[in-house]
Amino acid sequence: MYCRRVDDLENSRVAKQQDMSGPLTSFPASVYCFLLIFVISTVFHFQLRLSKLSIVCEEPPLLETPAPTNFHHDGFWTVLSQGRLGNQIGQYAGLYALAKLNRYQAYISPQMHNFLAPLFRITLPVLPDSVAKNIPWQNYHVHNWMSEEYRHIHGAYVRLMGYPNSWTFHHHIIDEIRREFTLHDHVRKEAQAYLHRIQKSPATFVGVHVRRGDYVRIMPQRKGVLAHKGYLDQAMNWFRAHYNNTIFVVTSNGMSWCRKNIDNTKGDVIFAGDGVESTPGKDFALLIQCNHTIMTIGSFGLWAAYLTGGMTVYLANYTLPDSPVLYYFKPEATFLPGWVGFPADLSPLLKH
């Protein structure tokens, strides 16, 4: 369950050979955007035609999406695009899984597409705003864990709302979710080239994500804490004890805190993150090309851990029992059974 799949290993071997070829040239963004929009609108019109045809011949539309799902119903399902990369991934995955369970075709907004498509080979079609605005959407709130009733959502124009960052929605189709979040070749190769540069001999790469930024202010208001120095020491020592030749690849939106607080006396820590919050894709790609993960809090690190698919150490019990966070967050629906949790230091909250 926690092993990388064989084809991942194959891919990384291929990547190793190709990484020698030097720096990558990329398309100018405008050309890329234009092509993308062209392809999307063509696909979209094609699908609309197919669904009209299907009304005539009473057959479900034959869609070009790879999942062999029968969409028993005509209609459009979508999800409200909210938050940044981690939450966008969660909303996409939640939509993908729930639409499939209820047998509706899912569409994403151009906004979500803009977040995810530069990084991942996602396949859900985009619903242009000009079409979406004429659809009588039925908003449907989902909480952060799967419920039985979500298997029976009725409506042809459902718009999911929420932050479904939980494996409980989609772990039964993990291969499809991994396929949706496969990195584009040029992104993967850049991350692989970086990892190969920093290893002297075959290493065990542990991606470390330290969530800081706005949470430094927000977490105490919510009776919670961020990861402290002791947690990161403990988590890194756990990996040092269980794997040989570990290299810790640190990314964060607070890199200067990391440089001050992460102990690098063993020389096995690389402060890799560029910390640019507006373009988190590079850090995310680096994390998921590692073998294992140390996460702290937040959906970005959680998704990095889940998609990496290795062993994960997480920060546990990082709120007081009366924290409002516990209304929308269930640890058992967030962390996979088998991941290792180390408790947070709540003492800064108890001083007040």
* Residues within the interface to ligand NAG (CB under 6 A): 4, 9, 12, 192, 195, 205, 243-244, 289, 291, 316-317, 341, 343
Contact of 255 with 214, CB cutoff 8 Å: no
- The token pair at 335 is 């962390």
Q: Round to whole Å and give the CA distance between 108 and 112.
A: 6
Nearer to ligand NAG among residue 97 and residue 288 (C-beta): 288
φ/ψ of 48, rounded to 5, equals -60, -45
Shortest distance in whole angstroms from residue 300 CB to ligand NAG: 19
Rounded distance between C-alpha atoms, residue 215 and residue 222, angstroms: 10
Give the C-alpha separation, 235 to 340, whole Å.
Answer: 9
| CB-nearer residue toward ligand NAG: 278 or 347 | 347
* DSSP secondary structure, 248-317, as one string: EEEEES-HHHHHHHS--TTS-EEE-----TT-THHHHHHHHHSSEEE--SSHHHHHHHHHH-S-EEEEE-
CB of 292 to ligand NAG, least distance (A): 9
**Residue 4 or 52: which CB sits closer to ligand NAG?**
4
Distance between CA atoms of residues 296 and 315, nearest Å: 5
Task: Give min distance, CB of 194 to ligand NAG, in A.
Answer: 10
Q: Cβ closer to ligand NAG: 16 or 179?
A: 16
Q: How far is the CB of 219 from ligand NAG (least distance, A)?
A: 17
Cβ distance to ligand NAG smaller for residue 44 or 194:
194
Query: Min. distance of Cβ 55 from ligand NAG in angstroms?
Result: 48
Is residue 129 within 8 A of residue 267, CB to CB? The reply is: no
Instruction: Name which of 205 and 215 has its Cβ closer to ligand NAG.
Output: 205
Separation CA 114–CA 137 (nearest Å): 22
Please, what is the minimum distance in Å from the beta carbon of residue 228 to ligand NAG? 14
**Residues 299, 165 contacting (CB under 8 angstroms):** yes
Q: Taking the complex as a whole, how short is the minimal distance between the CB of residue 208 and ligand NAG, in angstroms? A: 14
312 forms beta bridges with 293
3-state secondary structure of 144: coil
Give 88 or 246: the residue with its C-beta nearer to ligand NAG: 246
